Every structure is written in C-alpha cells, then in structure tokens.
Chains A and B, each alone.
Chain A
Amino acid sequence: MLEIKNLHVRIEEDGTEIINGLNLSVKAGEVAAIMGPNGSGKSTLSYVLSGKEDYEVTEGSITYDGEDLLEMDVSERAAAGVFLAFQYPVEIPGVPTLTFLKEAMNAQRKQRGEEELTTPDFIKRVRAAAADLKIDFNMLKRPVNVGFSGGEKKRAEILQMSLLEPRLCVLDETDSGLDIDALKVVSDGVNLLRDPSRAVIVITHYQRLLDHIVPDTVHVLSKGQIVKSGDKSLALELEEKGYADIIGAAA
C-alpha cells in the first residue's frame, strides 16, 4: 500500500537534511511501528507523508496505492485516505468542532464523488463514534481543540480518524501526554480500526504504546534512515537495551 524508496528530505527554510535515504514498505492490513530517538526524523516522516509545506523532498519517491503521493497536495492526500493523527493537535478558535467535522467528512466525500451527508446522518455517526471514545458530545460544540486537555485532544484525533475512515493512518507520538486510562481508550479506538484493507503506522518513542497496539512490524529510525527492522520482539529488545546499543550494532 505504501512504498517509500530512497527518500531524502530537508527543511525548506535552512536546508537541514532530516531524512537520508529512507526505505519503507507497508502492506494493507499491516500495523508498522516506527521507533527512534529524539531527532531521528520520526515527526518529519509523518509531515512528509501528510504533505506539510515546510519540507522539501530532494530525492526518492513515495508511492501510495500505486500513485505518486508527492504529486498530491495536503487535502488531496487526506481525501485519498491518508490520515495523520497529530502529536500536538492545534487549537483553532472560532471554528466549532462539529462544523469542522462536517466540512471534513463532506469535503472528502465530494472529492471522491460521493453524496454529502445529511445533517441527521452526520450527527448519528458522530454520536456513535464519540460514545466509543468516551467523548462528551457537548465538547464537540466547542471550537476545534480549544480548552481540551491533552488527553481530550488525542481522543478527538482518534474520533476524527474513525469518522474519516482513512486507509493509511499515521499516528505521530499519539501516546505523548496520555495517562494510562487515556492510553487505553485511544489504543482501543485504534484497534477498532484495524482492518485487512487498512494500514497503520505508529510512530513512538516507547514500547508502552505497543503493548496496547500490537504491531506486525517494527522499524528503527536513526539519522533519517531505517537501520533495523523486525517483528514486535524488536520493540521489546529496544526497551531493554536502549537505542544506543541497537543503532550502534546496526551502524
């Protein structure tokens, strides 16, 4: 489903190279974990997948469902089924969450040539998804993420993910800032979305999240490259030995 080949990325503003020849392949139905120390390029990878402007791809390719992902703009990628769950979801004053959700769901449907949702149908879907994630429906009348706690913001991200039904989910350090109960709710939300037709990329520092969202593959990112890949046992090994040992051995 996703094929990244020899990817090189730098920060547009100052030219700093962040990703240096990254190769990664993720199949439909697969849950791939990407782990790595601070500054290894994890968040950059998530931004490049979603199409953020501040990054420049200087070499390599990203193919998604047989299409050149780099040719699409941010909203086209989202409409094509790529979803980024943000590490730090932004607060947008003045835009009610429900308005935002409806616009997003209908924009994607429109780009895919589907009928827009009726208001009752929309509300029904949101109520059901909010209940699954233990989100108070009234909270969704507030502006996007404004006044939400850290945990509420992450749950709201997963709510958006379940409503938008993406085909490729990228979770950027979704565990950061979550207490144990919230981590459980968020992980359950992600697990509900596991599906043979859907791929999930879980980006994280810690093994802890992977106890809840058990990955099929684990990849270690260091200095902008995948230096080691394995199954879920690799995550446990990392937890035990630390990044330095694994990265040192791979280098």
Chain B
Amino acid sequence: MTAQTPRILTDAETSLVDAYAGASGWLPGEGVVKGARQLAVEALKNNGLPTRKVEAFHYTDLRALLAKGFRASPRPDATAAAERASNYSRLMNAVRLPVMDGHYFADLADDLPSGLTVMPSFLEGFGSGTGETADVVDTINTAFVTDGLNISVAADAKIDALIGIANTFAGEAGGIAATRNFITLEAGSNAAFLDRAVGPDDLSYLTSTVTTLTIGEGATADYVIAQEEGDAAQRLARFNVSLGKDATLNLFILNAGGSMVRQEINFDVEGEGAELNISGVNLIGGKAHIDVTSRITHHVPQTNATETFRNVATGAGQGVFQGQINVAQPAQLTDARMACNTLLLSDDCDFSAKPELEIFADDVQCAHGATVTDLEDSYLFYLMARGIPESTARRMLIRAFVAEVVEELENEALIEALEGRIDAWMERHV
C-alpha cells in the first residue's frame, strides 16, 4: 500500500482552487468542458504553481510571485463596463472588438470589414493542455476561461483596417479575466492586429490569455501585443503560432505594465519559405517582474526567423528573456537570429537573458547575442551641455534605444502611438 501525502497548497494556489469552486456553477460549458476545467484544477492542486526548480520558470518563481485573493469574473453589465472602459483612450483607429473582464461584447464592436468573421467562442483548442507544471499558463486558462474570439480572415482577403482586440479590466480586486482566442488567416490573406490590454493601477487582478494564431499558405499577419495592464496586475499569457508555407508573421510586443507578467510565445514553423519577425520592447519599472519566454521550432527546410528585444529596466524591476530556438533534423537552411539588448538604469533592477539553441540539422545559420549596459555617460554629458535637463536627456537616449525596434514597424500611425505609450511610461519611471 502506498500512502500519498497531499501537498500543502500556498495561498495563491488555494485562492485559485477556491476561486474555481466558487465559480464552477456558472462558468460556461457542461460535460467535456466542465471535465477539462476539473482536470485543470486537479493538476493545479497536485502540481502546484511552478518554482525555480521547473526549468521553464527558472527566473520566474510563480509560486512566490503570484498574488492571492482571486475570483472569477462574471459577465459585467455592458453599460457600466463600457463606461469604465471609456477611461482609456484609444491607442489608434482600429476595428474595435471590445473584451471586458474576459467577456466579448459583440454589440459594442465596430462594423467588420468584408472578409473578416468574428465568433464568440473559446472552444477551439480548449482542453488540449497537458496539465504539466510547465504548462501552468494554459492550465489556469482552462480552469477559468469565460469567453474568446474566434476570428477568421477569408482566403485572399486583404484587410486594410487594423483589427483591434481591446481588452479592458474593469472588475473588482482579485478578479480573473480569462480569454482564449483563436485566429486563422486563410491562404493568401493579409491582416493586421492590435491586441491591447489595459486596466486600472493599484488594483490586483489576473489576466489569463491564450491566443492561437494560424497563418495559412502565403498569408501575412502583422500582430502587435500592447500590454498596458495596471501596475498591480498579474498577467499569464501564451501566444501560439503556426506558420504555413510561405507565410509571414511580423510580431511586435510592448510590455509597459503589470506587476507580474509571464508572456510565453510558441512558434511552430511548419511551412517551407515561412518567415517570422519578432521584436519587442519590455519596460520594467517599479517592482514589476516581466518575463518573455519564447520557443521557436523550425520543422521544415528554408525558413527564417529573427527575434529582437530591447529592454529597459529601472527601479526594482526584474526582467527575463528566455529564447529557445529548435531546429529539427529536416529543417536544413534555417536562418535564425536572436538579439536581446538591455538598459539597466538603477542599482536594484536586474535582467536575466537565457538563449537556448537546439539544432539537429547540419546546414543552418543560428546566432544569438545579449548585451546589458547603462546609458552612455558621454552622450548624457553632451545633451546636458546643450541645456537639456538630465531627466529629459535620459528619456531621449532611452527613446533612441527602443526606437530602433519600434521604427522597424511599417505603420507610421502605430509607431507614433506606441512611442506615445513608451513616453508615458518614461514620464512615470525615468
């Protein structure tokens, strides 16, 4: 006979388990959906949140970092939620798909251009998680997901307007906003997305989001994630991408908010000739912990990937970048490049960068590099010697540092909007 001693759950773990128990009566879905949620909660009970011992979470001890006091967020009253959401100005003009506290409000959405279909559903890909500790982002989402956007772009459709997924948290302290989106670009189509998350400062809440993006043959997607959660928000996000033959993805990620952010990005490059350009800016101030963990797997020959992150850490901010590139044996002639450059502006901030290359093909080019520096004194002196006050001079140099990746984007209005958000962050932290 074997006796199993049950684990003692931490406050954060208990709060998640209790939050599910309190909401299981109304969380959407019966039968298999409910079954999958229960399995997820069981997995959470048994495995707990990951600690540093779990390789994928080595720099983000979620068991220590995740807050407590969570509860699922029921669908808010549309009028009240819309009013609270109106506190946040639009980043830029887009076909707006409003999502509040993890619920999509189709009635408040802008008119859709032809070729674009949006259905409210979280079921695509739901329940496929492994429940393993390393997959906790998916597990928590499975337990609490309330809604999702199932977006499809018709074959050969060229959507000119930016498609804006506007996530707002307007709920109460401890609220969990959980969504699972599924986006498909059919062969030969083009579309650009702005996936933005905003919420109030000084309020602990949890955003859980899993997005799966499938890009068909010859299709091109531009995707921007603008993360501007409140300064006490927790965010567990996963972005899965599958690229078909000759498909292109230009992904840009701005992390400019949140107190504990884990952004996972998983790419499966499955079509020959596919191209993947990933770039991003992580702004880590106050006591924020921001972790971007990416895994790119090249399954087939002749695909390209570039990944460039610029990070700015200050205060007691802690940043993490883990970049894994896997090149499977058949994936000859892969060209993969990764760079992670960081400005550390204070004595108490830190940044951990971990590149990992796993290459089983012999005719490939893979490179990675990471740098960490402070602002260059001679530049600061030069600017100040012309009468520019130190704080302004520092901001100019930080802006220049991040502009090198932001200005690679092709949409001028988007560049301006993102730089505006970066300036706003600097106003508070630099």
CA distance A107 to B389 in the complex (A): 7
Interface 9-mer from B4-12, B348-356, B398-406: B398-406
The answer to whether A134 has its CB under 8 Å from any CB of chain B is no
CB pair A104–B396 under 8 Å, yes or no, is no
CA distance A94 to B397 in the complex (A): 8
- Are A92 and B387 CB-contacts (below 8 A) given A52-B381, A74-B381, A103-B392? no
Chain B residue nearest to A111 in the complex (CB): B387
The answer to whether A249 has its CB under 8 Å from any CB of chain B is no
The majority secondary structure among interface residues of chain B is helix
- Are A104 and B381 CB-contacts (below 8 A) given A92-B400, A94-B400, A94-B401? no
> Interface residues of B toward A: which range?
20 to 34
Min CB–CB distance A104 → chain B (angstroms)? 4
CB pair A107–B381 under 8 Å, yes or no, is no
The answer to whether A86 has its CB under 8 Å from any CB of chain B is yes
Chain B residue nearest to A108 in the complex (CB): B387
The answer to whether A162 has its CB under 8 Å from any CB of chain B is no
CB pair A74–B404 under 8 Å, yes or no, is no
Residues of A within 8 A of B381 (CB): 52-53, 74
Residue interface mask A76-115, B partner, CB < 8 A = 1: 0011000110100110111100011001100110010000
CB pair B393–A75 under 8 Å, yes or no, is yes
CA distance A212 to B209 in the complex (A): 69
The answer to whether B157 has its CB under 8 Å from any CB of chain A is no
CB pair A79–B387 under 8 Å, yes or no, is yes
Min CB–CB distance A47 → chain B (angstroms)? 9
- Our pick among A78, A103, A143 for the contact of B385 (Cβ within 8 Å) is A78
CB pair A104–B387 under 8 Å, yes or no, is yes
Residues of A within 8 A of B384 (CB): 51, 73-75, 78
Please provide the chain B residues from 218 to 238 with a CB less than 8 Å away from any CB of chain A in the complex: none
- Are A103 and B396 CB-contacts (below 8 A) given A75-B388, A164-B387? yes
CB pair B388–A107 under 8 Å, yes or no, is yes
Residues of B within 8 A of A50 (CB): 385
Min CB–CB distance B14 → chain A (angstroms)? 48
The answer to whether A225 has its CB under 8 Å from any CB of chain B is no
CA distance A94 to B388 in the complex (A): 17
CB pair B397–A78 under 8 Å, yes or no, is no
CB pair B386–A92 under 8 Å, yes or no, is no
Residue interface mask B370-385, A partner, CB < 8 A = 1: 0000000111011111
CB pair A90–B385 under 8 Å, yes or no, is no
The answer to whether B172 has its CB under 8 Å from any CB of chain A is no
Residues of B within 8 A of A44 (CB): none
Residues of A within 8 A of B397 (CB): 92, 94-95
Please list the residues of chain B having a beta carbon within 8 angstroms of any beta carbon in chain A: 377-379, 381-390, 392-393, 396-397, 399-401, 403-404
Further 19 A-B residue pairs, CB within 8 A, beyond A74-B381, A93-B400: A73-B384, A74-B384, A74-B385, A78-B387, A78-B388, A89-B382, A90-B378, A90-B382, A92-B397, A100-B386, A103-B392, A104-B383, A107-B386, A107-B387, A107-B389, A144-B382, A160-B386, A164-B386, A164-B387
Pairs of residues from A and B, 8 with the lowest C-beta to C-beta distance, nearest first = A94-B400, A78-B387, A104-B386, A108-B387, A74-B384, A75-B384, A79-B387, A107-B388
User: What are 17 inter-chain pairs, A to B, with CB distance below 8 A?
Assistant: A53-B381, A75-B385, A75-B389, A78-B385, A78-B387, A86-B382, A86-B385, A90-B379, A92-B379, A92-B383, A95-B400, A103-B396, A104-B383, A104-B388, A107-B387, A108-B387, A111-B389
Please list the residues of chain A having a beta carbon within 8 angstroms of any beta carbon in chain B: 50-53, 73-75, 78-79, 83-84, 86, 89-90, 92-95, 99-100, 103-104, 107-108, 111, 143-144, 160, 164
